[in-house]
Chains A and B, each alone.
Chain A
């Protein structure tokens, strides 16, 4: 059976998602994902010539809130679930190649 996705692609997606998969998991997910893609491919048989791409599954737009301050959790509660903290900060493994930031 021709696979919709191969093991190399699954490994790449896993790497992009920071997932560490064993070889047997890669094989298992390749089969599962291929089945899913095959199923979804049925959509391609429909004529979508005059159909606008769907931006959202609900037929609603413009849901806003007013720009009014609400109480935040506060530092202690925010850090309560953190595996590690350093004073008022989350403590995380050293970021080596920091390209963070928006």
Chain B
């Protein structure tokens, strides 16, 4: 079998339709008799609902119904099931589909309005008379820990919902004997989702059964089915959930949302299809974000700059509910010790409720936060010891001779985490070589001549990918000789269809143009988990490989019978099975499929089980670790504080590349997300929890004019942990990028620069630092 497609930059099968404006996103779907929904949402961060008067709103033009949670009592009641239960969360902290008596953040949905048009629905939602008693609110996670702080939920006596702790080794002993110890505080902010398509959902009652079909812009259609079925006490088979084309996900669309439940409940109640399309202002207040972590850490290191141990505590802003359990803070914890070979670690994370929209993973989850802490510490150590930053890293990174390297941490299933393969130091050295670190001093001098400040940044990362347990696939050859792949793996732009087709095309010896992929439709494939944690290439990719190999073997067995030739003498080329060296003896895969489809009264060839198809669930039972090193240059205009990333180099190892075009696209987009976190994206609230950045004039995203070209170099160390040797690539761009840019900014500011322990960093902040540095110089000058 030749690898004709695997590894090639095959243009995406998804593209032609999307380029021609023929994509089919949720809002492009219109069903007969469909009503449009709008939500009436909380305007206060914390309040008790005293009354809702919708009489006037109900009589407005086009309005079909207005429902609150009480109207659904006959179908369902109570809070939604938790998506990821955690033993620390004794009682789940989940939303009701519509708030019942208390609202805990601005934007929480209270009532759903159904009308002929979405404009009419919005008008009526604005006309509902809501009587809310203001309750004290808290927006700052640090202040929320005080004994006398307002409680985010009036029924809870503490805002602390969990204290996670992880580590290994004898931290006390390492710190006691260390040559040096430094302490720092980091303030990390990661903004929101901002997929260009907002969320959206359509629920359509089935007229022939009592079922419901749901179209949702989701990373987790199977989780929507599972949790909604559980909530409605229905069999899953009565719910069909489809994620059609989805316009970006980036993590927050992995949640199961109250709006999905409310739209389903409304459709069941009114017995008509109901559509809700989130608008951007709702996205700012009702789609999960990531926001803040504050870390107080100490690092112990040797006189040579080898990082030995880290200890510390993080305050994690959870927001008002924990629909996704403690996944986000748990990921922060599990991301230690990053790519560094620490002797000991002791970190804890206090997960704190605030009266803000909940937090959940955004691209990279909390791995970029952990990377920021570790990479900034590496730079801090270098400054303290007056060593090159890369030297501290070389002395501290896990060495390739140590692979597989058991870190001391535990995975979600309790198993020890071990990095499988790779050469972290080589990646760093290559990144520095490619950015021409040796020539940096000369470029800095040139920049100074132009009146700008040039800085060089660097950061390394490791990423756990291929999260258990599985995404399965069925590969089937049809009598027309076409191949279909069905999988539960949902896509939000990653090009899964193309890469899965590449794998199957090679395994089956067929033209990729003959392959189609059906994904993310619970009616087409029985099981699925979720497109999260850079897991689809490993899980679904491996399942497609295993299923396609089974189909291949089955085809060869049938052909052997049909051609009366030994299996060992057969080859498959371009959809034809033939006897090697005897071109006249051949049968097409389509003909084999037809024979295995059965004909009345005829025996199947070779008594082989019908259907030229196979299903596989590759069990991804050990994480596989992608890694990389980044280097960048940032140029600062000291007059305005404007910081531009002018060059960016990525060295990345995600094992074997299925499609370099797609992998590079994932990395570039990921890096730019990280640059946004470093320089632009800040979700701002006032002290009472009122959001202050609710449009794209106030919340800045990276634009074409500010982004550099990103140069990518791959190291391909095949993963030993799956049959196709791949590692995930979805988030490796984002994880080190913020730390890399901040490293460059600090370097650009030069001697006397403050240690930068926060992001995003605005031009304002940079001019503050420059002004402070100038005054310090002046003082020094006067003192001399």
A, B in one complex: no
Residues of chain B whose beta carbon lies under 8 Å from any beta carbon of chain A: none
